[in-house]
């Protein structure tokens, strides 16, 4: 049974397996272990980014395609739910229509980009996707009648998912059992199911062909595989999963705007998380997303405590100022790349394999 769930892709490291189990249990019980609005929001964002980063890893880590348009599909998913809920009202039908429409748009757009661009060299493809993403962000900002422009769209969800809906009269283990909690667990099971689906894809014969293309596309072409077809299919699948991640974000925030889902900073974050977790692993999406987003969300708080503790040493206190959190985040990234050049997952697997050969 476990073979089928994990698609025979085991962590291959006891420490990695323990870390993944800790991440799974931590996210499953996050509302009860880490009470508070901020902690729950960070946990929900981790779930969204696990799907988004894993979908990008399918493209970069398993197929060897560098695309800067990935957040465009992320934004399409978020805008799909926002627009449909704004126009059709807070109903389940509106969510279904928005999700279906966004998946259709992402499918057609990713297919067009794939067919017209994947025949060119990697650097030119990356530049084309960057131009397409920038054009789409500008378009989303200017179509204010449809997208709300720079202000974005705020919308309501079905009553079952609204925070005002209470399922129990009294809190359970100190946590209100309401629509917000239900939304969180909807995201949790969606992220878990989508990650397992991606594991199934990369461990299928199709996924092995993608890895062969990544290693040597000329050899893959020579033995009979139609490289363009496989690369285009990978691009489309990756876009569809990113669209679902965008829908998850909109579902949690009940809002979407250009800076929320289409910002180039999100693309940079995704690239950093892939490198930190480990390219071509899928498990790296879970580890990397948790490490990066927790650091991003709480580093300022930790620096404030450190700065206050070092108040007697003015230079050190200034260096640890919360305003310099980006400096320390960058330093943490450099150190992680130096000590984990193949990512956390790759490093732990390498250590495990070295230990087993001794």
232-258 pLDDT, tens per residue? Answer: 899 999 999 999 999 999 999 999 988
Phi and psi, residue 154, nearest 5°: -105, 140
Helix residue spans in the chain (DSSP H): 2-6, 14-28, 30-33, 37-60, 70-88, 92-117, 122-142, 144-147, 179-202, 205-215, 217-222, 227-253, 258-261, 264-277, 283-309, 314-319, 325-339, 343-357
31-48 pLDDT, tens per residue? Answer: 988 888 888 999 999 999
Residue 9: count of CB within 10 angstroms of its CB? 15
> Is the pTM above the cut of 0.85?
yes
157-203 pLDDT, tens per residue? Answer: 998 998 888 888 787 777 888 889 999 999 999 999 999 999 999 99
Domains for the chain: give ranges and CATH numbers.
Answer: 2-357 (1.10.3470)
Distance CA 46, CA 252 (A): 12
**pLDDT (mean) for 292-299:** 87
Which H or E run contains 155? none
Note every long-range contact of 332-335, with CB atoms under 8 Å and residues 24 or more positions apart, other chains counting: 332/295, 333/272, 333/276
């Amino acid at each position: 049974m476990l073979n089928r769930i994990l698609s025979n892709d085991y962590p291959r490291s006891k420490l990695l397996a323990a870390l993944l189990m800790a991440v799974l249990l931590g996210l499953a019980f996050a509302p009860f272990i880490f009470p508070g609005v901020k902690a729950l929001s960070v946990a929900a964002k981790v779930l969204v980014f696990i799907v988004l980063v894993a979908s990008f890893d399918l493209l970069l880590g398993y197929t060897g395609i560098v695309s800067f348009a990935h957040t465009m599909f992320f934004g399409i998913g978020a805008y799909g739910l926002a627009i449909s809920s704004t126009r059709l009202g807070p109903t389940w039908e509106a969510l279904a229509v928005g999700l279906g429409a966004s998946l259709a748009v992402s499918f057609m757009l990713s297919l067009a980009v794939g067919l017209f661009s994947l025949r060119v060299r990697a650097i030119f493809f990356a530049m084309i996707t960057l131009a397409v993403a920038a054009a789409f962000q500008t378009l989303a900002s200017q179509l204010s009648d449809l997208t709300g422009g720079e202000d974005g769209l705020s919308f309501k969800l079905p009553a079952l998912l609204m925070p005002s809906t209470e399922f129990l009269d009294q809190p359970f283990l100190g946590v209100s059992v309401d629509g917000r909690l239900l939304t969180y667990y909807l995201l949790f099971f969606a992220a878990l199911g989508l990650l397992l689906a991606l594991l199934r894809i990369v461990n299928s014969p199709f996924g092995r062909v993608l890895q062969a293309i990544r290693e040597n596309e000329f050899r893959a072409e020579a033995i009979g595989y139609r490289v363009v077809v496989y690369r285009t299919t990978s691009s489309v699948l990756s876009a569809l999963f990113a669209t679902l991640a965008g829908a998850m974000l909109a579902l949690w925030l009940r809002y979407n705007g250009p800076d929320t889902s289409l910002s180039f900073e999100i693309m940079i974050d995704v690239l950093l998380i892939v490198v930190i977790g480990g390219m071509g692993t899928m498990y790296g999406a879970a580890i990397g997303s948790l490490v990066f987003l927790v650091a991003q969300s709480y580093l300022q708080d930790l620096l404030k405590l450190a700065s206050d503790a070092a108040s007697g040493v003015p230079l050190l206190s200034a260096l640890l100022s919360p305003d310099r959190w980006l400096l320390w985040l960058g330093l943490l990234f450099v150190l992680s790349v130096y000590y984990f050049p193949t990512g956390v997952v790759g490093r732990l697997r390498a250590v495990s394999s070295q230990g087993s050969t001794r």
